[in-house]
Amino acid sequence: MSRALLKFAPRFFSIVAGASILLVLATCSQPSSSQTNPSDIASVGTVSPSALANSGATSTPSTLSATKAALSAIPSSDVLLNDIGTSLNTIGSMSITGAKGAPLPRGPGSLTKALSAFNGLVNKSLSSDITSQLSKIMTDIKNFPTSKSLNETINLNGDSLGQYIKLTTATSNFSASLVTSDGGPLNTSSMANFQSATGQATLSLVVDPQNLTGSAVKDFKLRINAGGSFSLGATTVNGLVQPANFVFDYAESAVLAFSFLNPDGITGGKVVITANAKNKGTLADPTTLGGNPSTVAPNITVSVTVCDDSGNTRYTQTWTDLASLVTDFSAP
């Protein structure tokens, strides 16, 4: 993403979406009884610009570069962005410890990188409801190498994330199981007795503003449905246990809509970003993933629409190719 757009849209989207993803261990809607796979999610659709509070702008960007320039003028010290960052600034910097205090390995568990973010959430000054639910999950995760089973449910409907973020809907279920070759606890030092692992996760998230004043962002709405599953086996190569036969299936539907007025008091408007992603497949040798991460990269459709306060579209574009999306958003 460009440095300009990182100033607000992707940054805001990734932070809040990241928080939701961390609630389920991976980017993963609460399934209905008719769903057969976690990835069978319902589309969140889009948000009409008329549903957003007016920005108050008298000039609205009509190109991608102009939109990025307008958003780049919003300082990182903006009260909303600062509030989100303060709540989540330790995500990814912490590491979960095992049941006996030893750090979990990075092996079949690059999953542990996602798990580790729970530490950051639990250690922040969040509502007692969020803290208690995530603390319980933290304990279960720490015991996972011994219990070899996770079956968790999160319901944070109506809770607050920071001062300005309301989790109108935030429900998730995730589960994981682990099999060891000797039936004992997982050897977290060598992974020598790792045999297989499976897991699945679902998420439904609706985020709205609360008491939002003093920000360049005048209104926002975030909706995410996501779900996924995986399985991982093992093989022995030269006496060492290696991961094998990684099977994955995931999908996500998301929309972020917001209105903004940058500090010049002139430029702004309403922006609606929709994103749909999915992928499934099997990797016989997951160790090759580092050299070719595109294997598990999603098939995407991302649309950006910029409107003025009257609802007139000033700019719109859709991407179906991840490389083109990255290139366009990285350009100055």
- Tens-digit pLDDT profile for residues 9-58: 334 444 334 434 343 333 333 333 344 688 888 999 999 999 999 999 99
- Tens-digit pLDDT profile for residues 55-82: 999 999 999 999 988 988 888 889 988 8
Structure confidence at residue 51 (pLDDT):
96
CB 26, CB 249: distance < 8 Å? no
Q: How large is the average pLDDT for residues 119-133?
A: 52
Alpha helices by DSSP H, the chain = 3-6, 9-22, 64-72, 79-88, 111-122, 128-142, 144-147, 322-330
Structure confidence at residue 16 (pLDDT):
39
CB 201, CB 227: distance < 8 Å? yes
Structure confidence at residue 171 (pLDDT):
87
67/72 Cα distance (integer angstroms): 9
Residues of the domain holding 99: 3-330
For residues 106 and 191, the model is more confident at 191
For residue 87, name the pLDDT band (cuts at 50, 70, 90). Answer: low
Q: What mean pLDDT, rounded, does the chain reach? A: 77
Q: Are strands 165-180 and 299-307 parallel, antiparallel or unpaired?
A: unpaired
For residues 180 and 114, the model is more confident at 180
Number of domains in the chain: 1
The model's pTM: 0.77
For residue 185, name the pLDDT band (cuts at 50, 70, 90). Answer: very high
- Tens-digit pLDDT profile for residues 229-264: 989 999 998 888 888 999 999 899 999 999 999 999
